[in-house]
Amino acid sequence: MVVGRLTRALDRPVDAASVATFRIAIGALLLFSTVRFFAHGRIGSYYAKPTHFFHYWGFAWVRPLSGLGMYAVYALIAVAAACIALGVASRPAAGLLTSAFSYAHFCDKSNYLNHYYLLSLLGCLLTVLPLDREFSLRVWRTPTERRGQVRAWALYLLRFQIGVVYVFGGLGKLGSDWLIHGEPLRIWLAANVELPVLGPWLVQPGAGLVFSWCGALFDLSIVPLLSWRVTGRAAYVVLVIFHLLTALLFEIGVFPWIMILASTIFWSPSWPRDLWQRLHRSANAAIPEGIAGAPLGPSTRLASIAYALVQLLLPLRSALYPGNTLWSEEGFRFSWKVMLIEKAGSLDFNVVDSAGRKYLVSPRDYLTPFQARMASTQPDFIVELAHWIADDFAARGRGRVRVYADCEVSFNGRSRRRLIDPNWGLASESDGLAAKRWILPAPGDASIF
């Protein structure tokens, strides 16, 4: 009986205006972001300059295309994003975009960003959800295909995805570094001291702690506040101010703009239509007839539950690892642990061949400066690089060698400390899902969750 009532509630029709606007916003933002990628020369620096690429576990087979291949991939992403925004074959375009976008960022783990992961997830949802039957060229060309309503479950699935980002982002901040020491925000705020008006306030004692608490409270409360009609408007004003501040103070790409636009999904399903009518001072118009999307059948229900479980369980996997996972970064990616760590490290390798001869190897012999900086603080990068070094020595006729990492890392303002056991031969280790015994303990407990 409960299942039946829930199914009926999820199948009920709601105005398709907000989900259609969501589709337009995400498509336009992806188009803008991709054009920006071209303009800043990042395709060449990410895919043409490196000679080695760090792989995600289980995806070592993913390699970037040579020559102009990656430029073609990003051109395809731009075209697909435009189709999504305009509503031209938007679901096939979303599938193509998701495949190309995910492939591009799986080529090199060095380029991981939380909002790239989010955009891939939203691309998956845009592929399967019927969001192109309103406010699209499709219905402009063929008015009979217009559907003014969509099943409620499509709206709730989008809300769920955006909510996951905020909630797990807030849970990740429930640690002593964030809540007691105000780190790493204290470090990052101090870098903005030259900002007019705001700058001097950012270096005041306690500023990092105040910003940290505000950030945690914002992430943990914004979803219910946006969802409640009484507080929705005020909460969105706070949301815009919050994300504009993060865009001003921290270099985190288009993430603030994604969240500003995507969070409108928590508003009334009719808000774009209502806004249009108020701006044009027109009478309330009836929502066009027709419902996009099939009722919630067994296969759709099962797929939605599976998707939701993955999104809930994947961020929790870090709890399965011992010690402070902000230090080890085990289970860190795909977990919405946003802005929680500031690391700087030094890394060299000591290589010993079968004759006992010793060699000092720098990561920059194999990596770009950006990759070397990323590798200096992340254990899974270090072990993969150790394998490349061992393979390179073998290819040059030096036989089988032992590779040891000399790595020291400063973590959230602490003095440098060894990250990797310097006596552990890494060329015989593999990067898997198990806890890595060769990572040394963190300098103090900095995490509760």
Give pLDDT < 70 ranges for the chain: 1, 283, 444-449
The per-residue pLDDT for 296 is: 87
**For the residues of 77-145, what is the DSSP string, one character each?**
HHHHHHHHHHTSSHHHHHHHHHHHHHHHHHS-GGG--HHHHHHHHHHHHHHHS---SSSSHHHHH-GGG
Query: What SS3 class is residue 352?
Result: strand
The per-residue pLDDT for 356 is: 93
The per-residue pLDDT for 257 is: 97
- Could you tell me the residue ranges of all domains in the chain? 17-146, 153-292, 325-428
Is residue 130 a contact partner of residue 89, using CB atoms and an 8 Å limit? no
The whole-angstrom separation of Cα 177 and Cα 446 is 5
The per-residue pLDDT for 280 is: 83
Ramachandran class of 356: left when φ > 0, alpha when ψ lies in -120 to 50, beta otherwise: left
The per-residue pLDDT for 387 is: 97
Tell me: cis bond preceding 443? Omega within 30 of 0 counts: no
The per-residue pLDDT for 447 is: 46
Length of the chain: 449
The whole-angstrom separation of Cα 323 and Cα 181 is 19
Strand blocks (E) in 126-235: 149-151
The per-residue pLDDT for 294 is: 86
Ramachandran class of 430: left when φ > 0, alpha when ψ lies in -120 to 50, beta otherwise: beta
pTM of the model: 0.95
The per-residue pLDDT for 448 is: 43
The per-residue pLDDT for 444 is: 66
The DSSP H or E segment spanning 411 is strand 402-411
